[in-house]
Amino acid sequence: MLSEIRLFNQKKVLFVDDKPFYAVAGEVHNSDSSSIEYMEGIWKIADELGLNTLLLPLTWELTEPKEGEFDFSIPDALINQARTNNKRIIFLWFGSWKNAEMMYAPEWVKRDRKRFKRAEIVKGEAKSLRSMGPYTMPYYSLSYLCEETMHADANAFSKLMRHIKDVDESFGTVIGIQVENETGLLGNSREVSDEADLAFESGVPDEFAEYMRNNTDSMHEDVREAITSSKKSGNWSEVFGAVADEVFSAYHISKYVNYVAVKGMAEYKLPTFANCWLAHKGEKPGQYPSGGPVSRMHEVWRYCAPAIDVFSPDIYVPDFMDVCDDYSKSQPLFIPEAATHSYAASRLAYCIGHYHAMGYSPFGFDDIGKPFTMVQGFLFGMDVNDPALKTPQDYGIYSWFGKTLSAMMPVLANRYGTDDLQALCAERASSESTMDFGKIKIAGVFEHPYLQLNGNGVILAVKMSEEEYFIIGYQAAVSIIPGDAKNFDILEFEEGKFVDECWVRGRRLNGDEGTNFTMADPQLYRVRIHTYNDEI
């Protein structure tokens, strides 16, 4: 097995080629991987940014353009390109769902609305209207209750997985697969066809109702409240009260996704992900895709979709860290999509250093450094009063972080699940400002009287031994302070980089620089410290 999730230091960690691994990744724009010629230029950018993994869509429509006729020329070519460019791939299966819609379903599915039923969103209508900024677009989605579509999707997915096994098992270029994309229903909190109403009025399976009642600890308050104050058995409203519609949608969607995943995994087992369109604060199910793997529905998904290893958030909302907290509670953190504003690089380092994340992947990474498009402006929250959210990520800075963190993979990933790898960031500075490494502590400074810091800083520190540390920092300063030991001397303080997994020293900095560890630009330092308790 070349790629799998294993328990390592009591934490679930992605292993690739028998070693702990994190994906310093980037997701391409939806259409890029449909053209091999177009992709030629993208690998070069990935390389410049130091990425080790690309997230690439594969669509049902191009995989099975005619029913029963499969075309794997695109995955084959992408896998070859990745090997030539020394990169890994996580494929994204755009099957029945893409952004809660059905745009990548094949033509033969779209044309046959009797066989491949649409979701009835308004009674008698398989359509609703969605406003997106200045535009209003019709919205259609395939029905999550239609077994015919589920079987057809699963059949195509399993053929794809079989093919990936045939061409890639002995290489391991493909290290993971996302099953569907941003599932859920928009426009209503559940489907409302006669069939859906009938299912909603029927009894909730007892085992599921019991599981939900017995697993309320990690639930959002309103979900827990609705479940604990409702009947133990009965129809969906009776058992799930105020959250019944969303639970009903989540139950059917997660079972559908699980079915597709199981069929695929029976052919070739890879780590699986289900990515999530998050709810903005105050939104109701249906305003965000109802039934998708939002954290409030994780218990439903855990019960119904055991074939999915990780529920992964697409984070464009400003409260990035709260989302990471939510999605790392009982699973590894994997962020398949993140905004490319000026927090992007720092968040990459923080996700690795603090959450020991499986992967982090800016969406449309080839846009890094360019002015925002209208869509990005809308997605990244241009209306939010934070200059860092309105500033595009600097290309050179992201490249420094990507290359440095990729080169440090063994140093950092081997310490996943331990306190020897920690991080601080400006976004969290008010609540977490010190890393405790036992004999010493490292305190972060994100507001400095002599430095103009942007508020998007980060510090990552790794303890190699009682004496030796590496510190990455940007838009920050650190002070090393006594921990369990009363005194310490800095023996060595140097800058440098990792080449072929080995530290290559640059300047020795024991003079002025050692008295103030400032890191306005990205820095990687090695520090050796002698600690002692006896009086001087």
The residues binding ligand DGJ (CB under 6 A) are: 30, 99, 181-182, 314, 337, 363, 375, 379
Nearest-approach distance from CB 42 to ligand DGJ, in angstroms: 15
Which of 16/23 has CB closer to ligand DGJ? 23
Which of 317/321 has CB closer to ligand DGJ? 317
Nearest-approach distance from CB 46 to ligand DGJ, in angstroms: 18
Nearest-approach distance from CB 283 to ligand DGJ, in angstroms: 16
3-state secondary structure of 464: coil
Which of 42/480 has CB closer to ligand DGJ? 42
CA gap 329, 66 in Å, rounded: 42
CA gap 121, 286 in Å, rounded: 10
Q: Which residues of 130-150 are buried (b: 16+ CB within 10 A; e: fewer)?
A: eeeeeeeeebbbbbbbbeebb
Q: At 352, which amino acid appears?
A: I
Which of 53/99 has CB closer to ligand DGJ? 99
Which of 251/380 has CB closer to ligand DGJ? 380
3-state secondary structure of 59: strand
Which of 16/78 has CB closer to ligand DGJ? 78
Nearest-approach distance from CB 467 to ligand DGJ, in angstroms: 45
Phi first, then psi: give them for residue 307, nearest 5 degrees: -80, -5
CA gap 102, 510 in Å, rounded: 60
Q: What is the 3-state secondary structure (H, E, C) of 387-443?
A: HHHHCECCHHHHHHHHHHHHHCHHHHHCCCCCCCEEEEEHHHCCCCCEEECCCEEEE
CB 306 within 8 A of CB 272: no
Nearest-approach distance from CB 420 to ligand DGJ, in angstroms: 34
Say how many C-beta atoms besides its own lie within 10 A of residue 169's C-beta.
Answer: 12
CA gap 331, 373 in Å, rounded: 33
CA gap 180, 59 in Å, rounded: 9
Nearest-approach distance from CB 101 to ligand DGJ, in angstroms: 10
Instruction: Find how far residue 499's CA is from the centre of its chain.
Output: 28
CA gap 224, 398 in Å, rounded: 41
CA gap 279, 374 in Å, rounded: 21
Whose CB is nearest to ligand DGJ?
A: 182
Distances (CA, A) of 464 to 66, 166, 286, 410, 470: 56, 41, 49, 12, 8
Which of 56/297 has CB closer to ligand DGJ? 56
Nearest-approach distance from CB 103 to ligand DGJ, in angstroms: 10
Nearest-approach distance from CB 94 to ligand DGJ, in angstroms: 8
Which of 99/158 has CB closer to ligand DGJ? 99
CA gap 398, 407 in Å, rounded: 14
Nearest-approach distance from CB 314 to ligand DGJ, in angstroms: 5
Burial of 21 (0-12, 13-18, 19+ CB in 10 A): buried
Nearest-approach distance from CB 60 to ligand DGJ, in angstroms: 14
Which of 61/182 has CB closer to ligand DGJ? 182
Nearest-approach distance from CB 139 to ligand DGJ, in angstroms: 14
CA gap 444, 362 in Å, rounded: 25
Which of 182/427 has CB closer to ligand DGJ? 182
Which of 181/342 has CB closer to ligand DGJ? 181
